[in-house]
Structure 1
Amino acid sequence: MNFKWNYEPPTPERKQQAKELAEKISMSPILAELLIQRGIKTESAAKRFFRPMLNELIDPFLMNDMDVAVDRLNDAMGRKERIMIYGDYDVDGCTAVALVYKFLLQFYSNIEYYIPDRYEEGYGISRKGLDYAAETGVKLIIVLDCGIKAIDEIAYAKSLGIDFIICDHHVPDDELPCAVAILNPKRQDSTYPFKHLCGCGVGFKFMQAFAKNNGIPFSQLIPLLDFCAVSIAADIVPVTGENRIMAFHGLKQLNQNPSVGLKAIIEICGLTGRELTMSDIIFKIGPRINASGRVQNGTETVDLLVEKDMQKALAEAIHINEYNDQRRDIDKQMTEEANQIVARLESQEHQSAIVLYGEGWKKGVVGIVASRMTDMYFRPTVVLSCNDGIASGSARSVAGYDVYDAIKSCRDLLENFGGHTYAVGLTLRVENIPEFRRRFQQYVSEHIGTRQTEASIDIEAEVDFKDITKKLLNDLKKFAPYGPENPKPLFCTRGVYDYGTSKVVGKQQEHIKLELVDSRSSNVMNGIAFGQSQAARYIKSKRSFDICYTIEENIYKRGEVQLQIEDIKPSDSDNG
């Protein structure tokens, strides 16, 4: 009950605009208002939003260096050169490597993939990986989801006679590596219309261009879109523009005919037979793909993602699931330790950012712990693992704040860093941590807005229970897939009452199963409030209260509407 509710009622002009749009698209004015909030104001724009079309994907050759990259790949195949697909060890990197490798393997066999070991080689392109490439006769490396800052490493590769094509989406420095081609929509000189592709998305665009150049039907790329959907969800990039098109059709592929490796992961997650969503990827599928790289080596993940035999894939998926169980235990312990450090730093509550470090903390889990700290304390957070005088770790941010700029302001203290708006990886010497903490916190305090560090909820519409119908639920489904810049809509209803049958549920009696009525209709609404049992006493007191929630379909009773309640407040409280 500690959230501040942010809600701006629509103006009379907006209401009229929503009413007119609603009539044109045969939809509730409530949902038409949600479209307008997303910048969708015409009937044709609404149709494109609800039915993303693959033929609306941008021409891949609009990306800088794409023609050069395709020519170099064609040359490599023509000369029968050995090609290595090299990628980062996280979800985005592993799915990108799997996508490019699987597609090219249909036309060319002298090809392999390589994922660096997080603990032995660290992030990005490693000397060890390059030496291995040289030893095995590799002449071309296609690197995915990293490489944009690997100036020295790519110069070293060039001295070994190895060419590079970089497919990355992280923010580049002013100086670019001496690669044959650099595919990155965030290049300063980029002419590409969409800037927010993930690493797997850039890899897909490269394969789209290669297919177009070689007369390969686009239909052969469609089975690989499930990798794109997984990557877009897990890498938390905006689900707009091209990402929305790829996520929409990728989810369709994931639900109807996923690749063997992903099908095995879906099975061990217990999701078989369910309609999979972006949330299922974020909370179930993504962590398992990540687990191998966090605990052991990401190569095992790519082995699974490119596997063709279902029985082998299931065995590999079970093995990776064991890594995920180990990761959970490590994550829980490190999160508890991090919380204890924050509790000791009493002054931390007056700081606008958190910087934590621990000797021996597992590098593969610091990003997860940083995310948890950000969610708990509503502050940009850096979590570092210290080993042999070097600290390496991850930064995560709150909504609307660019933590990359904050890290960049301290670059003279860093050995290396890279990332994007909400997630950054960094390394620095242990002796530089105190000064880094001071300067990072100072920069954040000078550039972050008060609202960005508040525990707040952004409500999109205020509705009465009579407005919540099965048609509204079905129309609302068309807004998916959800993600940054297209969040799942949050609604609020004020002045509701317990119908008399609400009860506390859960193993620890931590949730509330609700049956509610409002004062404006006789509709009884079912709801579930996870982790909010502290509100039960007030709810049973027969006094009115306000709720904010998402509108869901009850997974146990198909077609039945259920409210997933995010926050509960007494009706007389200040909701902001």
Structure 2
Amino acid sequence: MRMIDIRYRTCMDKLWEIHRPQPDLVEQVARDLRIDPIVALLLVNRGISNPADAENFLSPSLNHLRSPFTLKDVTQAADRIIRALINRGKILIFGDYDVDGVTAAAVIYDFLKPLQADISVYFPHRTREGYGLRPEHVLRHIAPGKFDLVITVDCGSGSHEAVTAASRVGIDTIITDHHRIDSSLPNAAAVVNPNRPDCPSGFGYLAGVGVAYFLVIVLRKRLREIGYWKQQPEPNLRELCDLVALGTVADMVPMVLENRILTKEGLGLIQAGRRISIRALAESSGIGLESIDAEAVAFRLSPRINAAGRIDHAGLAFDLLQETGLRAAREKAERLNAMNADRQRIEKQIVDDIDRQLQARPEMLKNRTLVLSGPNWHEGILGIAASKVVEKYHRMAVLISTRDGIGKGSARGVAGLDLFGFLCQCKGYLEDFGGHQTAAGLKVRTANIDTFTEIFEETVRRQSRPEDFIPRIFVDCELGFDQINSDLIDALEGLKPHGVGNPAPLFLARNVRVLSSRLVGETHRKMRLAQFTGGRNCTLEAIQFHIDPEAPQKTTFSRMAYRLTWNHWNGRKTAQAIVEETN
């Protein structure tokens, strides 16, 4: 059993929560695994105390993947694809326009294309067509293109009308998706979604790309069973794990079990520079391949891939991932880089507009939800802007663009609360919606926005507590500078990749002095810190990101929450603290 000690608030009213795991359990894990007690404590804090589970966590392997055959309908999906492959049927992959959708499409395409499949890929335009497979796609593109089979990736669970329209003209549809379902399933040839109510797999945490990858595993095995690989070499599916890592990290699904295994394997491939397109993307992002971890994927690579679907068309990102020539890949990566710069500019405009609205109407901050709209907001940027609003104001945020006459919005939730569940209770006021526990998209008639705003606030207020809206800092344990050594940092590296469900370890240090500091870039503070601990003065290099350079800079911290990592520079590595919070 884990306990959390709630004792500290920062000057920004953040609540510091310090884990207090049972000492005897930590001692047992350390003894059983022969690991540092601090690492044992971190494992227990993440709910890992069984020796076998801990071994698998510390040494993730593709051999630890559980059988994908437990996914409902996955065998039917594989067999239908095989029939299309053998009969030379035309296959269309229909993907979502985010990183998860683009990489999921690439996984299935990269598997089928070398088998001489007659296969194409289609991504809807985010602003002109919107999310998901629709009847107009069938009427205007799929049927005229004489496709025999449509495979959706990262979408489709709510596309009842489109699936029916396709069936009427003799086109089968296979749904691969991971979004939650609040209604009946489409009448498709197969619906492979671990979050469908009757799926026994337990893979509900997979991203869309993870579902696509598991389908490919089953597909390869079914082809093996009919002797297909006697004609040509059987593909090594490990080579697709870099794509799985990109989509899994970008979609912010829990970094546990299969997600963590596939991401760890994929990050190794990315660091090796195996895929030219990702190598070019890393170059344009200004990051070395050896430095790419889950955090770099989330904050450097993914935003550039996402920028294509947000600003222009997701097909541009897919084209980059398919590129095998370095020169062409660099050109396409630079194009995505420029789009990402545009995205950042537009995002700032939206967030600044929201800040002005809230300054003019400060009473809105008494609510637990913020539903805001703008006639000129770019709907492709609303999701990431909503995340900024949640981060800044710690409220459920729904941002709606009304520039096309009907409200198109993105919602982001507060950790620990079920955003999708709240929207389900408000669906009578929405035209359409879909998503996850912490992220969703929706459509609402402009005439209904005010009513939806009231009902959404009432729903959230009725099923939440005031303390749910206090931002929290979850500290793993107190760690003095005298306890830091190279073996510990190496062991911490073994806990990667980090993400939801496996956060980067966060430590507490007290009474820290700033010996020296300087500004790096425009808003990052590079420091040399000191702490008198263990009977001696210990120093540590540190950096704090995104500070206010105009504000007075502290020279002492009574408490400091920090992460610990290696800083790689000019072929050398040094211990570095990444300062998250101070007071």
Structure 1 length-normalised TM: 0.94
Q: Is residue 95 of structure 1 aligned with residue 95 of structure 2? A: no
Partner of 1:288: 304
Alpha-carbon distance in structure 2 between the residues aligned to 1:231 and 1:125: 20
Partner of 1:59: 67
Q: Is residue 527 of structure 1 aligned with residue 542 of structure 2? A: yes
Alpha-carbon distance in structure 1 between the residues aligned to 2:567 and 2:392: 28
Offset at residue 214 of structure 1 (A) = 1.1
Amino acid at match of 2:525: H
Partner of 1:72: 80
SS at match of 1:214: helix
Stretch of structure 1 that moved more, 80-89 or 452-461: 452-461
Offset at residue 27 of structure 1 (A) = 2.3
Q: 1:252 aligns with which of 255, 268, 287?
A: 268
Partner of 2:20: 10
The answer on whether the counterparts of 1:208 and 1:218 sit within 8 Å (CA) in structure 2 is no
SS at match of 2:102: helix
SS at match of 2:380: helix
Amino acid at match of 1:72: R
Alpha-carbon distance in structure 1 between the residues aligned to 2:402 and 2:422: 21
Partner of 2:7: none
**Deviations 1:336-395 (Å, cap 9, x if unpaired)?**
111111222211121011111000211100111101101000111000111343000110
Superposition pairs of residues 532-543 of structure 1, within 5 angstroms: 532=547, 539-540=554-555
Offset at residue 568 of structure 1 (A) = 1.3
The answer on whether the counterparts of 2:17 and 2:472 sit within 8 Å (CA) in structure 1 is no
Count of residues in Structure 1 that have an aligned counterpart in Structure 2: 563
Alpha-carbon distance in structure 1 between the residues aligned to 2:147 and 2:550: 62
Q: Is residue 447 of structure 1 aligned with residue 457 of structure 2? A: no
**Deviations 1:489-514 (Å, cap 9, x if unpaired)?**
1100122334xx22242455763523
Q: Is residue 565 of structure 1 aligned with residue 582 of structure 2? A: no
Offset at residue 536 of structure 1 (A) = 8.7
Q: 1:522 to 1:25 in 2, by over 3 A?
A: farther
Offset at residue 28 of structure 1 (A) = 1.9
Alpha-carbon distance in structure 1 between the residues aligned to 2:319 and 2:491: 39
The answer on whether the counterparts of 2:523 and 2:549 sit within 8 Å (CA) in structure 1 is no
Q: 2:560 aligns with which of 547, 556, 559?
A: 547
SS at match of 2:254: coil
Offset at residue 61 of structure 1 (A) = 1.2
Offset at residue 173 of structure 1 (A) = 2.5
The answer on whether the counterparts of 2:524 and 2:544 sit within 8 Å (CA) in structure 1 is no
Alpha-carbon distance in structure 2 between the residues aligned to 1:453 and 1:371: 15
Amino acid at match of 1:339: D
Stretch of structure 1 that moved more, 253-262 or 430-439: 253-262
SS at match of 2:415: coil
Q: 1:65 to 1:9 in 2, by over 3 A?
A: closer
Alpha-carbon distance in structure 2 between the residues aligned to 1:101 and 1:374: 36
Q: Percent identity?
A: 32
Superposition pairs of residues 160-171 of structure 1, within 5 angstroms: 160-171=169-180
Q: Is residue 157 of structure 1 aligned with residue 193 of structure 2? A: no
Q: 2:120 aligns with which of 107, 112, 118?
A: 112
Partner of 1:234: 250
The answer on whether the counterparts of 1:69 and 1:180 sit within 8 Å (CA) in structure 2 is yes
Alpha-carbon distance in structure 2 between the residues aligned to 1:368 and 1:453: 20
Q: 1:535 to 1:388 in 2, by over 3 A?
A: closer
**Deviations 1:85-125 (Å, cap 9, x if unpaired)?**
11011111111111111111011231111111112211111
Q: 1:393 to 1:16 in 2, by over 3 A?
A: same
Stretch of structure 1 that moved more, 437-446 or 21-30: 21-30
Amino acid at match of 1:196: Y
Q: 1:8 to 1:515 in 2, by over 3 A?
A: closer
SS at match of 1:80: coil
SS at match of 1:564: strand
Alpha-carbon distance in structure 1 between the residues aligned to 2:325 and 2:526: 44
Stretch of structure 1 that moved more, 450-459 or 154-163: 450-459
Partner of 1:42: 50
Superposition pairs of residues 335-484 of structure 1, within 5 angstroms: 335-484=351-500
The answer on whether the counterparts of 1:417 and 1:427 sit within 8 Å (CA) in structure 2 is yes
SS at match of 2:148: strand
**Which segments of 5 or more consecutive residues in structure 1 lack a partner in the other structure?**
570-576
Offset at residue 40 of structure 1 (A) = 1.4
Amino acid at match of 2:201: Y
Amino acid at match of 1:426: L
- Give the superposed CA RMSD: 1.9
SS at match of 2:444: strand
Q: 1:514 aligns with which of 528, 541, 546?
A: 528
Partner of 1:272: 288
